Amino acid sequence: MSKIFLLLLGLLTFSCQMRHTDQGNVVSTDIDNFWTAYDSIVEEKDSLKQIEFINSLYIKKGSVGLKAIMEVRNYTAGAYVEMINNYPKFLESIRPNTLRSKSLTNELNRGIDGLAAIYPQLKPAKIYFTMGCMRTNGTTRDSLVLIGSELAMADSNTDISEFEGRAKEWLTTFFNTNPIEHLVLLNVHEYVHTQQNPIPKELLYKVLYEGVAEFVSVQAMGVPSATPAIEFGKNNPAVREKFEREMFYERTYDWLWSNSPNEFGVRDLGYYVGYAIAEKYYEMAGDKQEAIKKLIELDYGKPGEIDAFIDQTGYFSKAIDEIREDDIKSRPAVLKIREFRNGSTDVDPKIDRITIEFSEQLNGYNTGVDYSDLGEKYFPKTDSRSWSVDSLSWTMNVHLEPQKHYKFWITSNFRTKNGVPLLPYLIEFETKGE
């Protein structure tokens, strides 16, 4: 079975600053092209000819949107052929729904009209119905809304008998929500993303980014969110409490865009946290339209301002700075490098190991090192790594060069037996001449 990446949330979008939009802003030619290629591929047993068909009949004829979603999600001709060969029942069952893309233009226009009504500054975008390889039901690139129709247009009757394990479990849950029925709402969600500032790297700001898009789309449409995490979070205060403990853990997959298991049995609960913050701000605001503008235009490149904004809503039990301080106190840390002092400029290049000592026992399994901003060139050559018996230290066997600058990270993928991640630690030093 092929590896399926199922990233929930997000679908199409549509653009316009005007109250009435142009059908040319919704492009569905990729759907017809895909099925033409599909029909040729299922009749052909030669794998090389199958690749030729997907290339010539689908990819090379593809829209700007298809090219964009292939780049964003790393789709290849081989991945398409693999999907077609592995899941023909699934694809045949989704086919009638995807062919409805041409008839959905008016519904999409009404959804974007609703967004324009509450956010008059709306900038143009363009929607592309595409067929992907099941790695997203929708995403964006710049002003392009890219629909993965094979997921976005499914319903409870879609055949998933060819899938197994967690992929099948998630597809069952997701398809039972009849995603095609919520197409316009999810479209507006993705459209909001085309209006926002660039997505941030930090988990706290990512959940706000996603939650704002969901909250604004709900306000524009005047309907409840179709995302299960929103309703679940509203009825379970423990979600907020857990996120408050983990917001600086840097483990996005526990809260967003992942089937990572959790104690609640509901994925993507970060959407609820961001939604709740946005909702509190909106409820406090006297000028609702100005509040929508503020939410959409938050600048995640200014973390101090975002922290102050979150604090203003009173959603968390403490100010962000206090939670950050509590987090630092509660997590394991690197105590020192055994062989030399971090930051030294005269390290002996004959040293053949770097041993990291921790403030408490870790799980002896998970590890993580990463390049710094200087890149691979400043990372030491290493041929083996090992834990101490008590898991209080970890050693990299290295081959250092004389008169060289080294800089790299010991990451938070190191963790305790209870899953509490290590505070990231930057190692930087220079070796002396021989």
**pLDDT greater at residue 362 or residue 108:** 362
Same domain, 346 and 384: yes
N-to-C CA span, the chain: 54
Tell me the per-residue pLDDT of 409-423, one tens digit each, with 9 for 90 and over. Answer: 999 999 999 999 999
pLDDT of residue 193: 94
Helices and strands in the chain: count of H runs, count of E runs: 16, 11
**Residue range(s) defining the domain that contains residue 96:** 1-183
Measured distance CA(350)–CA(433) in Å, rounded: 10
3-state secondary structure 312-381: HHCCCCCCHHHHHHHHHHHCCCEEEECCCCCCCCCECCCCCEEEEEECCCCCCCCCCEEECCCCHHHCCE
H or E stretch at 30: helix 29-42
Q: Tell me the two tokens of residue 370.
A: 């990463």
Closest CA to 422 of 248, 202, 243: 248
Tell me the per-residue pLDDT of 231-247, one tens digit each, with 9 for 90 and over. Answer: 999 999 999 999 999 99
**pLDDT greater at residue 176 or residue 207:** 207
Whether residue 191 is contained in a domain is answered as no
Whether residue 47 is contained in a domain is answered as yes
Contact present, 203 and 248 (Cβ < 8 Å): yes
Same domain, 351 and 260: no
Closest CA to 149 of 188, 191, 97: 97
Measured distance CA(192)–CA(305) in Å, rounded: 21
pLDDT of residue 104: 85
Q: Which of 13-22, 68-77, 94-103, 125-134 has the lowest mean pLDDT?
A: 13-22
Same domain, 10 and 150: yes
Same domain, 74 and 146: yes
Q: Which position has the token pair 């379970």?
A: 236
Same domain, 223 and 163: no
- Please give the average per-residue pLDDT across 305-309, as a whole number: 98
Q: Which of 105-114, 188-197, 369-378 has the lowest mean pLDDT?
A: 105-114
pLDDT, averaged across the chain: 91
This prediction's pTM: 0.82
**How many residues are recorded in the chain?**
434
CATH number at residue 380: 2.60.40
Contact present, 409 and 370 (Cβ < 8 Å): yes
Whether residue 122 is contained in a domain is answered as yes
Contact present, 68 and 138 (Cβ < 8 Å): no
pLDDT of residue 124: 87
Task: Please say if the pLDDT value at position 117 is more than 50.
Answer: yes
pLDDT of residue 24: 58
Same domain, 8 and 137: yes
Same domain, 120 and 226: no
Residue ending a domain, choose from 132, 153, 183: 183
Which band of pLDDT confidence, cut at 50, 70 and 90, is reported for residue 404? very high
Same domain, 281 and 232: yes
Whether residue 258 is contained in a domain is answered as yes
Tell me the per-residue pLDDT of 55-83, one tens digit each, with 9 for 90 and over. Answer: 999 999 999 999 999 999 999 999 999 99
Q: Which of 104-113, 223-232, 351-360 has the lowest mean pLDDT?
A: 104-113
Alpha carbon distances (Å) from 308 to 276, 303, 314, 316: 16, 9, 10, 12
Tell me the per-residue pLDDT of 169-187, one tens digit each, with 9 for 90 and over. Answer: 889 988 988 999 998 898 8
Residue ending a domain, choose from 271, 295, 330: 330
Other C-beta atoms lying within 10 Å of the C-beta of residue 432 = 13
Closest CA to 369 of 418, 340, 406: 406
Q: Which of 16-25, 48-57, 70-79, 381-390 has the lowest mean pLDDT?
A: 16-25
Which band of pLDDT confidence, cut at 50, 70 and 90, is reported for residue 162? very high
Q: Which position has the token pair 């000592």?
A: 357
- From the number of C-beta atoms within 10 Å of its C-beta (0-12, 13-18, 19+), residue 345 rates as exposed
Closest CA to 20 of 141, 122, 89, 136: 122
Which band of pLDDT confidence, cut at 50, 70 and 90, is reported for residue 20? very low
Measured distance CA(283)–CA(274) in Å, rounded: 14
Closest CA to 282 of 347, 340, 214: 214
Whether residue 294 is contained in a domain is answered as yes
Tell me the per-residue pLDDT of 251-270, one tens digit each, with 9 for 90 and over. Answer: 898 999 887 888 998 989 99
Same domain, 249 and 177: no
Whether residue 188 is contained in a domain is answered as no
Contact present, 412 and 424 (Cβ < 8 Å): yes
Same domain, 348 and 276: no
**DSSP 8-state symbol, 5:** -
- Please give the average per-residue pLDDT across 104-111, as a whole number: 84
Same domain, 368 and 384: yes
- Please give the average per-residue pLDDT across 275-296, as a whole number: 98
- Please give the average per-residue pLDDT across 122-147, as a whole number: 91
Per the structure, the count of domains in the chain is 3
Measured distance CA(115)–CA(185) in Å, rounded: 10
Residue ending a domain, choose from 125, 160, 183: 183
H or E stretch at 209: helix 203-221
pLDDT of residue 274: 98
Task: Please say if the pLDDT value at position 8 is more than 80.
Answer: no
Other C-beta atoms lying within 10 Å of the C-beta of residue 267 = 26
Same domain, 340 and 203: no
Whether residue 211 is contained in a domain is answered as yes
